[in-house]
Chain A
Amino acid sequence: MKPFTKHTGLVAPMDRVNVDTDQMVPKQFLKLLTREGYGRVLFYDWRYLPGEKPNPEFVLNAPRYRGASVLIARANFGCGSSREHAPWAIADYGFRAIVAPSYADIFYNNCFKNGILPVTLSDAEVQELFTRNAATPGYQLSVDLEANVVYDDQGFRSGFSVDPFRRQCLLKGLDDIGLTLEHEPDITAYESRGIPTPVMHSAVDFKVFDSSETTS
């Protein structure tokens, strides 16, 4: 995973509450077998008119937001489906960080697996960023995970908190499967204890199932 330490970039605004992951990557793109290439389809139904012509009314199509890499968003960003295609698309489009008042749980978790930093600030602070962004063409934000701070060059500065473990993983770009595999002896010990009950962890018995597959 790509590490995240500090990033300064052009800001783009997504001024809607409860943006769901169906909007980020609609169903028809859930049939692809790769993790790459979803940037083109990010916010597909909002972003394109029939024939994949860019919809001039959609915010990310505005020339001033071309090349944006910091997304400011509203409450409960990323609700709905667990599809990791959503953060894949956000990252592939070029966003490195999101700043919003709150996120849906699964999406928030998925961001950290993909080198995206979801920063949580208060409603008032996020509103301030929306206001500054609207007033300032070329508005940029810096997101510093080493110092846990977001700032611009007009005097906005706010600390934020991230769980220390997630922060370390993101700072170092750690592979969390690799980390868990270091605890292999603990996993084996748990399995051999067979708790909470013996029947739960004994090998699943396929006999009855297999007969139900072949008989009517």
Chain B
Amino acid sequence: MTARTLYEKIWDSHIVRQEAGKPSLIYIDRHLIHEGTSPQAFAGLKAHGRKVRRPEMTFAVMDHSVSTKNRLLPVLDPDAASQFKALSENCRETGVRLLDMHSRNQGIVHIIGPELGITQPGLTVVCGDSHTSTHGAMGALAFGIGTSEIEHVLATQCLSQFKSKTMRIQVNGKRSNGVTAKDIILAIIGKIGIAGGNGHVVEYAGEAIRRLSMEGRMTVCNMSVEAGARAGMVAPDETTFQYLEGRPFVPRGKDFQEAVEHWKALVTDPGAKYDVMIELDAAQLAPQVTWGTNPEMVTDVTSRVPDPASFGTADARKAAEYALEYMGLKAGTPISDIFVDRVFIGSCTNARIEDLRLAAHVVEGKHVSRTLKQAIVVPGSRSVKAEAEAEGLDKIFRDAGFEWRDAGCSMCIGMNDDVLPSGERSASTSNRNFEGRQGKGSRTHLVSPMMAAAAAIEGHFVDIRQWDTAGGDHA
């Protein structure tokens, strides 16, 4: 048999039907939905008189528009209220399990999938959300889809898909203290560009990826889509199996052992070919800070805001000029001279327990800068929140002047009332620094949780490697 990549193995095992010249019909094992992109899919289903084929394979959660303040108060935003109502009714009518905003297990869809063991190695996972690539960290094939495809999955439990090309990104060596999974993926996007992965499924490999915890691998896979990739994945290993064991939807006992035996085969065969191969040395990486309006506009914290004239093409020069104007930055400004107004620690990229531990470690015994207007910590899920509180992290954050919130997407997208005001600048652990992403006219700098925490303390970006608290082999 020909040597196959991990992606090809999962693809092959999910072909329901294939015909020359047509996309393949692929079986979908787990379907995640949220209030933002699903109502039109249910409406379409109803309009055609179609049923949900396998309601037990779809999991719904409220995350995008939920308040992160007191959730017992009525929802004041009438549009958000109607989204919640629609999701509740759609789930009730079709038998889809819903984690509503009051559920003990509620959280951002890409945090709760792995956390509850809904996502497992070798599965196909889709969600009407581009950051579905997160789940690839489990060794699953996971990708974001549009609303028409949500409807397609609800009706058929399948999707018509063309096979993607494959890319291996190998990250060699060992990170320095203070350099995290977030810095690895930002550096990758800086290197290959936001369209560098278009049409490809990326498999991350190499020592630096193997050494990452599951949380770190999720951060890396999460932002695969910011490099344009259809999906990102990491072959499962002992780290994966240990993470999964005992989670609510993971098989138990003998079934778990059987599953592990199967999962162990989910690796790329020696000699399998990728369409593109890229290598990076983790030891060379510095903490990353974005300076522009998309994630490839990123540089080392020790560096300066680049001069648009230094870019190679007319399009890139113009894009950099637009970006600097929007961001209110001058070429040549040291990154460490950029002051921020607010700090957001949260999102499906960086709101897992490990992210919060790292940030808490940085702020412990210190206080946020007087120049800061706000610093908030939004745990990715209510389980993460409970775990953090059991460890006393909430107290560390509160004592340092942070607000400690309930779980949701929050200021990553600003669909609730956690909005970055126009003209203000954030250090944010989220995934997109697009114009207006955190609020109309808002200016976002993407960083790791440690870097965001340090920026909150100092009021501006600092090289976290120079702090004692950057120590240890963290993710």
Task: Mark A residues whose CB is within 8 Å of B.
Answer: 16-18, 20, 22-23, 26-28, 30-35, 45, 74-76, 79-84, 87, 102, 104-106, 109-110, 113-114, 163-165, 175-177, 179-181, 183, 186-187, 190-191, 195-201, 203-206, 208-209, 212-214, 216
Contact = CB atoms under 8 A, between A and B. Distances in A.
B82 A190 contact: no
B177 interface: no
Q: Among the interface residues A27, A80, A104, which one has the most CB atoms of the partner chain B within 10 A?
A: A27
Dominant SS at the B interface?
Answer: loop
Given A113-B149, A180-B156, 12 more contacts: A16-B322, A30-B415, A45-B435, A79-B194, A80-B432, A180-B158, A190-B27, A196-B262, A197-B262, A206-B97, A209-B249, A213-B103
A213 B65 CA distance: 22
Nearest to A123: B315
Contact of A76 (B48, B160, B228, B318): B228
B144 A106 contact: yes
A113 B120 contact: no
Contacts of A199: 251, 255, 258-259
A102 B259 CA distance: 41
Given A20-B294, A31-B65, A104-B198, A79 B315 contact: no
Given A31-B83, A187-B16, A199-B251, A18 B294 contact: yes
Interface of B: 13-14, 16-17, 21-23, 25, 27, 29, 36-37, 39-40, 43-44, 48, 50, 53, 56-57, 64-65, 77, 79-80, 82-83, 86, 97, 103-105, 116, 118, 120, 122-123, 128-130, 144-149, 151-152, 155-158, 160, 162, 194-195, 198-199, 228, 230, 248-249, 251-252, 255, 258-259, 262, 294, 315-316, 318-319, 322, 413-415, 432, 434-437, 440-441
A18 B195 contact: yes
A119 B29 CA distance: 33
A102 B57 contact: no
Contacts of A113: 146, 148-149
A114 B434 CA distance: 25
Given A104-B198, A196-B122, A177 B156 contact: yes
A27 B248 contact: no
Nearest to B81: A31
B86 A76 contact: no
Contact of B158 (A32, A87, A187): A187
Contact of A114 (B23, B97, B148): B148
A206 B162 CA distance: 33
Contacts of A205: 249
A33 B83 contact: yes
Contacts of A84: 37, 40, 128, 146-148
A23 B230 CA distance: 21
B123 to A, nearest CB: 6
Contact of B43 (A33, A109, A187, A204): A33
Given A23-B436, A208-B249, A33 B39 contact: yes
Contacts of A45: 435-436, 440-441
Contacts of A79: 194-195, 228, 294
Q: Among the interface residues B44, B322, B434, which one has the most CB atoms of the partner chain A within 10 A?
A: B434
A165 B22 contact: yes
A27 B413 contact: yes
Given A180-B25, A180-B156, A76 B39 contact: no
Nearest to B315: A17
A207 to B, nearest CB: 9
B315 A32 contact: no
